[in-house]
Amino acid sequence: MTTATRPLTVGLGQLVVSAEAGATIAAIGLGSCIGLVMHDDVAAVGGMVHIMLPESSGKTPPGKFADSAVPALVAELEALGAERSRLRVKMAGGAQMFSAGSGSSSVLNVGARNGIATRAAVQAAGLSLLAADTGGSNGRTVELTVGAGQVLVRSVGGQPEPL
């Protein structure tokens, strides 16, 4: 655990958890990626994963892919004392950052595919998604304040908004 004086940044495909009340965990500049946040108010632990792609096909690191990131984040939080039944789950990101013209395949919309896969993985883990700020064409930054369990999302050029 780290005593946070600045946000703990979650890089591409990374997973960060904390039990430090003063910690802030942030995924900065999410485009088509998903910032998935989980927090247990009772245990006062939280974490975030920066999901890049929908499916792992057995590849690593687990945080890079929706299907492996969700169970990995749950396991890390449970190791810090969280209980699955108390986890509050929120996500942001999944924008369509590149336009490929009319009639283009949805395969090119990685953001939408990431959102769908992340929702499915959350459901498969027996969890409920409480809030989401996904889609559109703007990048976002998502931030979790661990002690308070507060999640803020800021779109490019916008103000932070509670999620």
46 has catalytic annotation: no
Digitized pLDDT (tens) for each residue of the chain, 163 residues in all: 444 457 899 999 999 999 999 899 999 999 999 999 999 999 999 999 999 999 998 778 899 999 999 999 999 999 999 999 999 999 999 999 776 555 445 557 899 999 999 999 999 999 999 999 999 999 999 999 999 999 999 998 899 999 9
pTM of the model: 0.91
State how many domains the chain has.
1
Range of the domain at 110: 8-162
> For position 105, what pLDDT does the model report?
53
Of 41, 62, 163, residue with least CA distance to 121: 62
| Rounded Cα gap, residues 90 and 36, in angstroms | 6
Residue 1 in domain: no
Domain with residue 76: its CATH number is: 3.30.1330.200
Catalytic residue (choose from 33, 91, 151, 163): 33
- Contacts of residue 27, Cβ cutoff 8 Å, sequence gap at least 6: 9, 10, 33, 35, 48, 50, 93, 141, 142, 143
Of 133, 137, 124, residue with least CA distance to 160: 133
Residue 27 in domain: yes
Three-class DSSP category at 120: helix
Three-class DSSP category at 119: helix
Residue 143 in domain: yes
